[in-house]
Amino acid sequence: MINNSKIIIGCMAWGDWGKQLSLKEHTEMIAFCVESGNKTFDHADIYGDYTTERSFGNALAESTINREEIQLISKCGIQYVGKNRNNKIKHYNYSKDYIIWSAEESLRNLKTDYLDTFLLHRPSPLMHPTEIAEAIRNLQESGKIIEFGVSNFTPAQVDLISNKIKVSVNQIEFSLTQHTAMLDGTLDQMLLNTIHPMAWSPLGTVFKKENEQNLRVKKMLKKLSEKYSVSENAILLSWILKHPANISPVIGTTNKKRIKSANEALNVTLELEDWFMLLTESQGHKVP
């Protein structure tokens, strides 16, 4: 298994879909993350309408960062409708030739010889496990990718692919306010089969929506933040980190203070009853 940072930096908002960081800002952000211990960077080919990987790669080439010191994740498969691809409708492509081409395109854009982890971004009803396996073996045997995984796949879909090729990662939505993966067998399967879970949107909707669930959660967060002397963000991440499946949160912020705040979670071990207090407030009822 790749030695990823426990808290992974999501790069979707670095480019045209977010902060539109300049080359200098990209370079500074990469250096800051590495110095903070966040050495794993999560990408996808579609981010920024297929432009964000290139911006990051240009910055990485300008930096003094040793490529061996960091880990790069990317994803393929979604055919996005934008100005940089001639797609008539959003769809998925998991043909052997496309998977290989897409990985090689990410390598060119990120200006690297290999990806530490390469994921299928979302499942397609037309994906064929044998064809996918052939593409991944080609990429692994040529040294272009090290670890293979999926993103947003159900347990049955993971089984479909892993019957032909080892699946090492499943990147899913998971947070205190969206924890169905803990109840529907998704995390159980990953724990059973030594598949590394990565969690996107790990803070959930707590600070995005005003509703009864989030009001309950915020009251408990305030108490626990004071008890453990860390930020509320850190409490939310520590709730995820306590799960035995060894989940790695993927945080999407470009705010340096929030990255530091997130890293506080690494020094927090929630007491058992505190963990269940948060779950109870999120669900609005005691556990069965």
Residue ranges covered by each domain of the chain: 8-283
Active-site residues: which are they? 47
What are the tokens at 25? Answer: 């800002």
Question: What whole-number distance in Å separates Cα of residue 106 and Cα of residue 52?
Answer: 10
Question: What whole-number distance in Å separates Cα of residue 197 and Cα of residue 182?
Answer: 11
Residue 257 has a pLDDT of 97
Nearest of 149, 148, 237, 152 to residue 186 by alpha carbon: 152
* Pairing status of strand 248-251 against strand 196-200: parallel
What are the tokens at 263? Answer: 């890293």
Place of tokens 């080892």: 166
Q: What is the pTM of this model?
A: 0.97
Residue 2 has a pLDDT of 84
Cα separation values, 179 from 8, 147, 247, 270, Å: 19, 26, 12, 17
Residue 31 has a pLDDT of 97
Instruction: Give the CATH class of 8-283.
Output: alpha beta
CB of 106 closer than 8 Å to CB of 78: no
Q: Which residues of the chain have pLDDT under 70?
A: none
Place of tokens 């705040």: 261
Residue 177 has a pLDDT of 97
Residue 1 has a pLDDT of 76
